[in-house]
Homo-oligomer: A and B are copies of this chain.
């Protein structure tokens, strides 16, 4: 913590300042737009972009993470609060902060308990499916503000502004970087310039709104944004604690997952080590800070963090600079923010979430592993049909089901000796010599509760298929762990084989596994021996039976 501050060098400052400015300019429309997605007044999105990134800078572990409002977490916030209060009411705003408070406390607790490994509960295809489902839900929610009304009651001036903004943003996304490069900017600078298109489009649309007096024509705008920094918010709803707990747990989990996947991508590029437990603490503090300054749940954003990194951020100082700039914006005149047209904000959200609709994971999974692809589609479908909270639960269940399903089909190979060598290989792949009464099985999986019955069943099957077997040797090259369930399973197998006078032997048991087995009763009960290698086992057991190989 604060390692970066103690070792700060002046040479890092330029990059941090430029990234701070770029991210602050991104944050203004994004923060306001995502607050609207969450059903909150736009200024709340700015509040949530000041203290949270500062706290993350002090406690988090990623150097280039940009913490603040994020589309999916805003959607989850709206889903959590919808049954409890009407959007726009004071209670709703209080509950949003309370949600951040609970989620933050949970994240902090998890960090202190060092259970950062929970990030591994989602497989990547499931995460991709969740993101796609959430992006579609968010996009659908933007249709009405974009058009100023439902599909059948389009408000023409709003729709013109919204679709115009959308067109401008799409064109900017596709061509602006190339244009800026042709105008002589460096590739990096052009890319960053293109990232600021939303801010420019929002500014242009605001000027247009003011010039054409669009609000008088019925175009909705953000409305007065209070000047001044957010105050200390200690308001909570006593009723909320119990009702918010479950959604807060799910939101906290997704805050962590989304932030980790953003941070991991960048950490790998910067060859940094990411500490998941510090990440939990950083995110926990950020959300507590958000709650105490009237904000709502926040997380690290993949797209914003990538911009932060690309714009030259070297340390979390970039986030602090951007937060200070946003604070300055709130102290200065905020009148212009009041005229920000909602159709344009909807267009910025649409373009942002359409960027989340990436299908390359689906394509790869479809070719490489159909079950992963189906899990992706099921999670996306779950979010669309049952909602974003159910989507998280479905995602975890599918990831786990996939894991347990794979485990229930352990790979077990019958080994044979390759002629003239001491090597034993799978006889299905290499022709090898076997002994009639010694069966060598290599177990290609760690032994744990998820596969213990399947392993025993497969072993029994092989013993039945080799009815002359008097010695069964389990070759444990690939077994790095045997849990308590598997220990019982081995003991049962040993007993079952003993009833038939078949010896159960182990070979090539790894050091750490053997160390732990010594603490158990299994070794003493074992109806056979432990051999250093498959070839030694084969040789000694054959000799014992007066066979010659």
> Which residues of A are at the interface with B, using a C-beta cutoff of 8 A?
115, 117-126, 260, 264-265, 268-269, 271, 273-274, 361, 364-365, 367-369, 372-373, 399-408, 411, 426, 429, 444-446, 448-454, 456-457, 460-461, 477-478, 480-481, 483-485, 487-488, 492-493, 495-496, 499-500, 510-512, 516, 519-521
Contacts and interface: CB of A to CB of B under 8 A. Distances in A.
24 contacts: A119-B453, A120-B407, A120-B449, A121-B400, A123-B448, A123-B483, A123-B484, A123-B485, A124-B488, A126-B449, A265-B492, A268-B456, A268-B493, A269-B496, A271-B500, A274-B457, A361-B488, A368-B516, A368-B520, A369-B483, A369-B516, A372-B484, A372-B485, A477-B478
Given A120-B404, A429-B511, A268 B477 contact: no
Contact of A120 (B426, B453, B480): B453
A61 B510 CA distance: 37
Nearest to A409: B117
Given A120-B407, A400-B400, A364 B453 contact: no
Contacts of A510: 444
B520 A367 contact: yes
Given A268-B493, A373-B484, A406-B483, 8 more contacts: A119-B453, A123-B483, A123-B484, A368-B487, A368-B516, A369-B483, A400-B400, A477-B478
Contact of A404 (B118, B429, B484, B487): B118
B120 A511 contact: no
Contacts of A404: 117-118, 120-121
Contacts of A271: 460, 496, 499-500
A445 B444 contact: no
A234 B300 CA distance: 55
Given A117-B404, A121-B400, A449-B399, A484 B368 contact: yes
A426 B492 contact: no
A118 B402 CA distance: 10
Greatest chain B CB density within 10 A among A120, A122, A399 is at: A120
A381 to B, nearest CB: 17
